[in-house]
Amino acid sequence: MTAAKRYVGGTALAIAAMVALRLVAAAVTPLTFDEAYYWTWSKHLAASYFDHPPMVAWLIRLGTLIAGDTEFGVRLISVLLALPMSWATWRSAELLFGGQRLAAHATLLLNATMMVSVGTVIVTPDAPLLVASSFALYALAQVLSSGKGVWWLAVGVAVGAGLLSKYTALFFGPAILIWLLWVPKQRRWLLTPWPYLGGLIAFAMFTPVVLWNAEHQWISFAKQLGRARVDGFHPGYLLELVPTQFVLATPLVYILGLMGLYALARGAGASGARVLINAIVWTIALYFAWQATHDRVEGNWLGALYPAFAVAAAVAAAFVPWGPRAQRVVDVCRRWAAPVGVVMFVLVVVQANTGVLTGYRRDASVRAVGVGYPEIAAEIAAVREATGATCVLADDYGNTGWLAFYLPKGTCVAQRNERYRWLAAPPPSPEQLAGKLLLVGETNAAAHPALRATFSRIEKVGAVERKRGPLLIDTLELDILDGAKGPVLDNSPPVY
Burial 66-84 (b: 16+ CB within 10 A, else e): ebeeebbbbbbbbbbbbee
The sign one gets for the Cα dihedral 449, 454, 456, 458 is negative
Phi first, then psi: give them for residue 366, nearest 5 degrees.
-65, -35
* CA-wise closest residue to 298 among 98, 106, 115, 489: 115
For 402-423, what is each residue's pLDDT tens digit?
999 999 999 999 999 999 999 9
* pLDDT (0 to 100) of residue 1: 60
* pLDDT (0 to 100) of residue 285: 97
Residue 396 has pLDDT above 70, yes or no: yes
- The mean pLDDT of 118-138, rounded to a whole number, is 97
Q: What is the pTM of this model?
A: 0.95
* pLDDT (0 to 100) of residue 171: 97
Q: At how many degrees (to 10) do helices 151-163 and 172-182 cross?
A: 150
- The mean pLDDT of 203-211, rounded to a whole number, is 98
Of residues 493 and 4, more confidently modeled: 493
* pLDDT (0 to 100) of residue 233: 78
* pLDDT (0 to 100) of residue 383: 97
Q: Give the DSSP letter of residue 250.
A: -
Mean pLDDT computed over every residue of the chain? 95
Distance of alpha carbon 51 from alpha carbon 48, whole angstroms: 8
- Under 8 Å between Cβ of 479 and 437: no
Residue 238 has pLDDT above 70, yes or no: yes
Do the strands 413-415 and 455-468 form a parallel or antiparallel pair, or are they unpaired? unpaired
* CA-wise closest residue to 413 among 385, 434, 437: 437
Distance of alpha carbon 464 from alpha carbon 449, whole angstroms: 23
Residues with Cβ < 8 Å from 158, sequence gap 6 or more?
132, 133, 135, 136, 138, 139
Band (229; pLDDT cuts 50, 70, 90): low
Q: List C-alpha distances in Å: 462 to 178, 381, 422, 459, 466.
A: 60, 12, 28, 9, 14
Q: Give me the amino acid identity at 467.
A: K
Residue 291 has pLDDT above 70, yes or no: yes
For 353-392, what is each residue's pLDDT tens digit?
999 999 999 998 999 999 999 999 999 999 999 999 999 9
- The mean pLDDT of 257-282, rounded to a whole number, is 96
Query: Percent of the chain beyond pLDDT 90?
Result: 91
For 107-122, what is each residue's pLDDT tens digit?
999 999 999 999 999 9
* CA-wise closest residue to 329 among 313, 345, 305, 342: 313
* pLDDT (0 to 100) of residue 225: 79
Q: Give the DSSP letter of residue 293.
A: T
Query: Percent of the chain beyond pLDDT 70?
Result: 98
Distance of alpha carbon 230 from alpha carbon 207, whole angstroms: 28
* pLDDT (0 to 100) of residue 174: 98
Band (228; pLDDT cuts 50, 70, 90): low
Band (327; pLDDT cuts 50, 70, 90): very high
* pLDDT (0 to 100) of residue 91: 97
Distance of alpha carbon 70 from alpha carbon 23, whole angstroms: 13
Q: Give me the amino acid identity at 80.
A: L
* CA-wise closest residue to 394 among 33, 3, 58: 33
* pLDDT (0 to 100) of residue 294: 85
- The mean pLDDT of 428-437, rounded to a whole number, is 94
Can you spell out the DSSP letters for 174-190?
Answer: HHHHHHHHHSGGGGGGG
Alpha helices in 355-473, H assignment, sequence order: 373-387, 397-406, 430-434, 449-454
Q: List C-alpha distances in Å: 244 to 230, 233, 250.
A: 22, 20, 10
For 12-54, what is each residue's pLDDT tens digit?
999 999 999 999 999 999 999 999 999 999 999 999 999 999 9
